[in-house]
Chain A
Amino acid sequence: MAETIHVGHAEEHGHHDHHEMSFLEKYVFPLDHKMIAMQYMFTGMFMALIGGFFAYAFRMQLAFPGMDVPFWGVVTPADYNALVTSHGSVMIFWVAMPVLIAAFGNYLIPLMIGADDMVFPKINRLSYQIFLISAIIIIASFFVEGGAFGGAWTAYPPLSTKAQYSLTPIGSTMWITAVALEFVAFLLGGINFITTAMNSRAPGMKMWDIPMVVWMIVIASILFMLSVGPLLAGGIMMIFDQQLGTAFFDPDRGGDPILWQHLFWFFGHPEVYVVLLPAVGIVAEVMTVFSRKKLFAYKTVLYTAIGTGVLSFTVWAHHQFIAGIDPRMANVFTVTTLLISVPIAEMMFVYIATLYGGKITLTTPMLWALAFVFEFLIGGITGIFLGASGNDIYMHDTYFVLAHFHYTFYPIAIIGTYAGFTFWFPKMFGKMMNDGLGKLHFWLTIIPFNLIFLPLFVLGASGQHRRIYDYTNFPELAQPWQQDLRQLATISLVVMLGAQVIFFYNVIKSWMSGPPAGKNPWNSGTLEWTATSPPPHGNWPEGLPTCYRGPYEYSHPDHDKDYWPQNEPA
């Protein structure tokens, strides 16, 4: 049956689910892409709270060494390592990935391309279930004998493979198992995203009519699929090393610990772009709507994304400059790394150029989107310091690195998510969010964020290394001004975490009693805004839309309204 190409009228006789679904069918084991998206979204947010709590616990220890941290207790060195390891792993694999790719991908792709669901709803459901199991495993690892794995999120062997060194015989294996399962979940999800976007577009929707965020999630999924394989194989090798006693990464018995680093970073660097691209896609949607303007040079944005993606496969060893690889290799990787600045800078310029000539309204989602551009610029330029091999000899594994990648990951995972969530909240729940509370939450998040990580740049430049649980042992790092900066960062973190209460209050309050949103509260042109809010199962029960034009026809001179929906016949 799939051999024939169905278009137009043939589709109107497709399935519409009319039978009443039980609670379990609807909320626990759903096939509807929107419900699976919500599962991913709220699991991701819950994991973000856990990751944030981890950060709180170890930052308190850094600011006030030896203190009895409220809700945790005294942070021992073993605790500290487990906390930083889990913070990093959770925030990347269980927050950024599920929220940005899986939640937004599941929610937006079918709606934005005018389809009724993902192409493989059951695989989609399976993907979430595997993901949930992986999340449970990573949390459960805190409660096993020896505690959670404490060898950093990069898990370099032999520390990660030998229990006599890591002292976490069960935690290490649980960590790598959870990570590997998470990869499997996202491989399944990725196949769905790619196939859906390639095959299930509304009639009339050509390549260049696809909204940018859909493109970005698809490119990100492809990047993920093409980069994660070696690490998945490496993960199996690591589990065998830990549990069977093989010696893939054991230098004493003919293995090579550096091999893991190559496998890890061959995935690890593209992974940055895997989560970056969906975020810049979200920002493109938000910025065009609230500046009432076409996206500046749509194809250029796309080409820069693809260019960055391709280049990202060639830069992995800049994480290993001083790891004992052949020093001549560093020169090659310095060049490729700095080359990435070209497409990324172009992308940022194009976003700034999109603002030019617009009619800009600073709503809450727009503030988040603009903050993304600004903060990510800082993250991007500080990367140059580290990509330059000569400087990396000093900067490697200092807090400068830490501050740098938090200036990239935070805008991606937190700011990008808030931009998308506040923007599509009316669609997801059919209610408007409170803009005043939204702005309060924005400022109370963005200012403390900068106050956390700007001091860490300074500390890093003064020689402070990462993953050390108490700097009082190092006279050069125990100077009063440095401790003041650490306390500033920690207090800002506490303020920032506290401010998230406003967000959750706003979500619940608006969900319960916000003003109804209607179909298209932002006067946006993309297809998801032509469905009811929230869209029912099947998205457009009255018949799926047809596409007539590009997604960003705002303020078109030939049209009386300042937006021109994609489904409106010419």
Chain B
Amino acid sequence: MSARPIATTRSAAGMPTARLAVWWIIASEIVIFGGLLGSYIMHRLAHGVWADYAAATNPWIGGFNTFVLLTSSLMAVLGHQAAERGDGPRAAKMLYLTCGGGLLFICVKAYEWTTEISHGMTITANTFWSFYYTAAGIHALHVIAGCIIMLFVAQTAKKNLELHRVEIIGIYWHFVDVVWIFLFPLLYIAK
């Protein structure tokens, strides 16, 4: 494994390379979710009957998951603060807690979907449920991916190495959180 190229250490734009890159990743992710949610909203406006389908969602579970994600974001912020201070082990601990939040989110989601599917609200039931599972599913994949990356970051952070990564994964985690903030009202609350 070779050392990092000099190119990576430069910052002619005045921002560390990794942070710049994560912002660009988020920009492209925004367009992906934007396209999906835009399509959903257009359909939703055209089909009044979807409000009835949406009534079957459980806003309490969705709301609890929102709370879980927001809390985990707070942990990510605390982790970043610890990393700024150079306290790697504490940053790692916070990242593990963030991961735990992500895991809880996924577990709740699994319970929720199991209930819904067993009541006949499958992905093919109608286009509302297709959007519901597709949008929330893509979001859940981002949660899982974020957790896995976070575990790797925590491993190095624990040894006080590559502490800047704590901030990078934090930015990404906040983005995942914000996506859910959009999904929750669109899928659960709008009746």
Contacts and interface: CB of A to CB of B under 8 A. Distances in A.
The short answer to whether A and B are in direct contact, CB under 8 Å, is: yes
A205 B190 CA distance: 52
A201 B35 CA distance: 34
A108 to B, nearest CB: 14
Interface string A3-24: 1011100010011010000000
Contacts of B43: 256, 259
B5 A227 contact: no
B6 to A, nearest CB: 4
A198 B20 contact: yes
A521 interface: no
Given A195-B24, A229-B30, A244-B124, A115 B17 contact: no
12 contacts: A2-B16, A2-B18, A31-B2, A120-B8, A121-B5, A191-B28, A199-B10, A201-B10, A230-B31, A233-B32, A233-B138, A544-B6
A190 B25 CA distance: 10
B8 A200 contact: yes
Interface in A169-208: 187, 190-191, 194-196, 198-201, 205
Given A120-B21, A259-B39, A247 B130 contact: yes
A308 B32 CA distance: 22
Given A246-B130, A247-B126, A1 B164 contact: yes
Contacts of B8: 2, 117, 119-120, 200
A118 B10 CA distance: 11
Contacts of A110: 7
B119 interface: no
Given A229-B30, A230-B31, A254-B47, A248 B127 contact: yes
Interface in A229-275: 229-234, 236-237, 240, 244-248, 253-256, 259, 263, 266
Contact of B28 (A11, A119, A121, A187): A187
B39 A233 contact: yes
A116 interface: yes
A15 B2 contact: yes
A457 to B, nearest CB: 35
Contacts of A233: 32-33, 35-36, 39, 138
Contacts of A311: none
A120 B4 CA distance: 8
B17 A200 contact: yes
A195 B20 contact: yes
B125 to A, nearest CB: 9
A255 B127 contact: yes
A259 B39 CA distance: 7
A6 B9 contact: yes
Interface of A: 1-3, 5-7, 11, 14-15, 17, 31, 110, 115-121, 187, 190-191, 194-196, 198-201, 205, 225-234, 236-237, 240, 244-248, 253-256, 259, 263, 266, 538, 544
Nearest to B24: A191
Contact of A225 (B15, B18, B27): B27
A10 to B, nearest CB: 8
Interface of B: 2-21, 24-25, 27-36, 38-39, 42-43, 46-47, 123-124, 126-127, 130-131, 134, 138, 164
A230 B12 contact: no
Given A119-B21, A236-B134, A236-B138, A200 B127 contact: no
Contacts, number: 167
Given A191-B25, A253-B126, A199 B5 contact: no
A7 B9 CA distance: 9
B7 A119 contact: yes
B17 to A, nearest CB: 5
Given A195-B20, A229-B29, A230-B31, A118 B5 contact: yes
Given A236-B134, A247-B124, A117 B20 contact: no
A225 B164 contact: no
Contacts of A225: 24, 27-28, 31
A117 B127 contact: no
A133 B47 CA distance: 40
Nearest to B137: A236
B123 A244 contact: yes
Nearest to B163: A1
Contact of B10 (A3, A17, A194, A200): A200
Contacts of A199: 7, 10-13, 15, 17, 20
Contact of B9 (A11, A194, A228): A11
Contacts of A205: 12
Contacts of B28: 187, 190-191, 225-226, 228-229
A230 B32 contact: yes
A245 B31 CA distance: 25
B12 A201 contact: yes
B20 A237 contact: no
A15 B126 contact: no
Contacts of A236: 36, 134, 138
Nearest to A188: B25
Given A225-B28, A253-B126, A195 B21 contact: yes
Contacts of B21: 119-120, 191, 195
A200 B3 CA distance: 16
B130 A240 contact: yes
A227 B31 contact: yes
A5 B9 CA distance: 7
Contacts of A244: 123-124
B16 A3 contact: yes
Contact of A2 (B11, B31, B35): B11
Given A254-B127, A259-B39, A6 B10 contact: yes
